[in-house]
Amino acid sequence: MQLTGNNYLNEPLDICSEFGKLQNNYFLPASIKSFNENSFEGTIAWKRYARKARMAFEQITTPFEDATAWEFPVAYSSVPELPFKIDFVNDRTLRLRISSRDSIPDSKESIMLMDNVKYLNNWSSTKTESGMSFSSKFASISIINEPFNIEIRDENGKLLTKTQNILDTKSLENCNPMPFSFVRSAENLKRHIAASFSLSYDEKIFGCGESFTRLNKRGQKVDLWTVDALGVQSRNMYKPIPFFMSSAGYGMFVHTSAPLTFDFGNTYDQANVIYTGDDCMDLFIFTGTPKEILSNYTLITGRSPMPPLWSFGLWMSRITYKSEEETRTVANKLRERKIPCDVIHLDTGWFEEDWKCDYKFSKSRFNNPEKMISDLNEMGFKISLWQLPYFTPQNKIYKEAIEKGYVVRSFDGSLATEDAVIDFSNEEATNWYKNLLGGLLKIGVAAIKADFGEGAPLHGKYSSGKSGFYEHSLYPLRYNKAVYDITKSITGDGIIWARSAWAGSQRYPIHWGGDAENTDSGMAASLRAGLSLGLCGFSFWSHDIGGFVRKSPEELYRRWMPFGMLTSHSRCHGEPPKEPWEYSEKFEEDFIKVVNLKYKLMPYIMEQAKISSENGYPMLRTLFFEYPQDPVSWLIEDQYFFGSELLVAPIFNENETSRKVYITEGVWVDYQNKKEYAGEKWYTIEAFDIPIILLVRKGAVIPHCKPVMHTGEIDWADIEKTEY
């Protein structure tokens, strides 16, 4: 099903396009016909409308007009009565399900949700003149019978948001804003829902996954569809997540794997419209501060477990180390030059032919991979390997995967694409794939790079019985889980290195930011993306330091390094050279200084990682995540907190050594020169020895360790605590 565009393979879908077609039928909620106060279930009467072309003053518009049923036999009501249900998870979380069909789907086995989600009916109910009201200690929801509406309020009775009915419109066009509705497509009779909510004039929206556009999504239209973004400066996303939070004090998670389009005041400034390809709107609503919202969202979809200690060290990589000799040479030089490092990553060149992933080391270039891995382990290095879940026709695994029925096919029985794409909804296929990885993990490989995963074919038929319309976005989640599970079962370490994701993927860390351009803008977009993903419950995140696409310009690489090292996970990767000794002597000195900074901070990083993991918080945090009461903090997208005690401001402009920095509440101390700054003000701050602004909350106690070459050498009994 292709909704818009040029019909190119894996093009993002714009669901809202179905809501503008004259040939479709539209149904808008008119009133509540029944409601059971014990089960919180009821029915909504949906009035039928059509769009009709109207000409006025030399302009054509297509407003809604009342319509009657015109089907045969006469069995289809003009005002169908369809189910809805409310559940209460806790004092800050409720679940609203509204169906355009005769029943509400059972979601007990959803892989997006945690198995232990419980529902607490501890909200008090009150009958009102207009309907029903439910309230907890921290929130309330009012259901208005006619015209149908839902209002969400905080503990003080302040309206946070409400649904928008056609009778609420104050515009000259009754379709602006788009009212809460569902559409029945004339093309295929599929039904899609538009959940329309109000936006206040100054409201800001954040989240939606690893989005590279402006951090505040107000005014944007966001398509939730995993795609190989081929960079970090477009609307496309490797990791779309159907969750967002508002500066007004609420958040929403759309529990579906169907494609979605979020219109955050893009079409009509007052309206936040969630267009879902699903025929049931399954919406979790959260209230509170950003921390409270995110903590409750991750209570439902899961939190990131702690990755192993070694993963927080430097990962040294490029495209690509191609031989045992080259790998050993890099390892030796890292140690000889006293550069701390924990991981050497082998990308696309460890097979006999580059990119042809057959899960076997090249026999001509790797004499004894098992001994190489063992020797490097003795030196304190872990080995990470690249691979992907697509097999080209020249790959010897291609035929085996097809013959065993482990690949995605089209509904006509042919292959869905040119490549054999593993069907992770097939348990046998997943176990077969895990066995391929298992052979590598058993010889000492520590981590698997789960690259790609965004290309599950839309037109494919999957073992689950569903099409790519529902399986496309689930593919990264299934893929992440498969790699994580086999790695943890064999090595004991829960870790992957993944590019694609969907809601729930945060349970399988770590994810990195894709193929960043080697530009100042690429660096800034990477930070926005990391902050945005963090606001969706991903505690741990990384990116390609210095950019991926071309050789990193030395000046840019130098400024990017401290940003990359003051991130939970740090990898130098991309077009060679990436090794510091391939640049100037001064660059290598600076490189070593900033890597030593991260290793020195490792006790602080592990302390903050544990807190983040336990609460569902990100390691990279927006300023408003820590200071939501500060209105300026909601405007900042080029600074961040690294944990709760360090405020970081990278330098994004070429050949500059200072920048404007907003300091939040309190007093903050420059980590490098100990100068103090009073909070809630702007300053122009000069970077000191390391080209970044790094501030510490005054009074904070930061633990440090002695210099080491890898995390295995840290003496945890000899930690120095420094009060600032």
Here the tokens at position 273 are: 């419209």
Task: Residue 319: name the closest of 573, 514, 511 by CA.
Answer: 573
With contact defined as beta carbons under 8 Å apart, do 442 and 405 qualify?
no
Mean pLDDT of 631-655: 98
Point out the catalytic residue in the list 18, 203, 278, 451: 451
According to DSSP, the residues that pair with 124 across neighbouring strands are 135
Q: Which residues of 116-136 are buried (b: 16+ CB within 10 A; e: fewer)?
A: ebeeeeebeeeeeeebbbbbb
Between residues 8 and 295, which one has the greater pLDDT?
Answer: 295
pLDDT bin (cut points 50, 70, 90) of residue 2 is: very low
How many helices and strands in the chain, by DSSP H and E? 12, 44
pLDDT at 75: 76
430 vs 422: CA distance, rounded Å? 8
Here the tokens at position 704 are: 């440090």
539 vs 311: CA distance, rounded Å? 14
With contact defined as beta carbons under 8 Å apart, do 312 and 605 qualify?
yes
425 vs 498: CA distance, rounded Å? 18
Task: Residue 719: name the closest of 708, 709, 704, 707 by CA.
Answer: 704
Taking the CA atoms of 234, 238, 242 and 247 in sequence, report the sign of the dihedral they define: negative
515 is catalytic: yes
pLDDT at 104: 94
Between residues 120 and 685, which one has the greater pLDDT?
Answer: 685
Task: Residue 505: name the closest of 496, 514, 493 by CA.
Answer: 496
> Would the pLDDT of 511 be above 70?
yes
456 vs 500: CA distance, rounded Å? 11
Widest CA span in the chain: 83
Q: Determine phi and psi for 432, rounding to 5 degrees.
A: -60, -45
Lowest-pLDDT range of 109-123, 359-373, 409-423: 109-123
> Would the pLDDT of 400 be above 70?
yes
Report in angstroms the alpha-carbon separations of 650 from 412, 453, 497, 681, 687: 53, 31, 24, 18, 9
Q: For residue range 134-157, what is the model confidence (pLDDT) as tens digits?
A: 999 999 999 999 999 999 999 999
Q: For residue range 656-700, what is the model confidence (pLDDT) as tens digits?
A: 999 999 999 999 999 999 999 999 999 999 999 999 999 999 999
| Stated pTM of the model | 0.97
608 vs 540: CA distance, rounded Å? 11
220 vs 569: CA distance, rounded Å? 30
Q: What is the DSSP string of 249-314?
A: SEEEEE--SS-EEEEESSSSTTEEEEEESSSEEEEEEEESSHHHHHHHHHHHH--PPPPPGGGGSE
Here the tokens at position 616 are: 């569902």
pLDDT bin (cut points 50, 70, 90) of residue 6 is: low
pLDDT at 417: 95
Strand order across the beta sheet in which 676-678 lies: 620-621, 640-642, 646-650, 692-697, 667-670, 676-678
With contact defined as beta carbons under 8 Å apart, do 396 and 357 qualify?
no
> Would the pLDDT of 5 be above 60?
no
N-to-C CA span, the chain: 58
Point out the catalytic residue in the list 324, 423, 515, 520: 515
Mean pLDDT of 159-186: 94
Three-state SS string over 206-263 comes to EEEECCCCCCCCCCCEEEECECCCCCCCCCCECCEEEEEEECCCEEEEECCCCCEEEE
> Would the pLDDT of 642 be above 60?
yes
CA-angle at 361, arms to 360 and 366, nearest 5° = 160
451 is catalytic: yes
State which amino acid sits at residue 441. L
Q: Determine phi and psi for 128, rounding to 5 degrees.
A: -120, 170
The alpha-helical segments, DSSP class H, found in 379-421 are 396-403
Interhelix angle for 554-565 vs 585-600, to 10°? Answer: 10
With contact defined as beta carbons under 8 Å apart, do 625 and 291 qualify?
yes
Three-class SS state of 475: helix
SS3 content of the chain, % helix, strand, coil (to 5): 25, 30, 50
541 vs 215: CA distance, rounded Å? 17
pLDDT bin (cut points 50, 70, 90) of residue 116 is: confident
454 is catalytic: yes
Three-class SS state of 585: helix
477 vs 496: CA distance, rounded Å? 12
Burial class (CB in 10 A: 0-12, 13-18, 19+), 418: exposed
Q: For residue range 428-478, what is the model confidence (pLDDT) as tens digits?
A: 999 999 999 999 999 999 999 999 999 999 999 999 999 999 999 999 999
Point out the catalytic residue in the list 223, 419, 454, 638: 454
Q: Which residues contact 716 (CB under 8 A, 6 or more apart)?
A: 603, 705
| Extended strands (E) in 486-631 | 497-498, 511-512, 541-542, 544-545, 570-572, 620-621
With contact defined as beta carbons under 8 Å apart, do 651 and 659 qualify?
yes
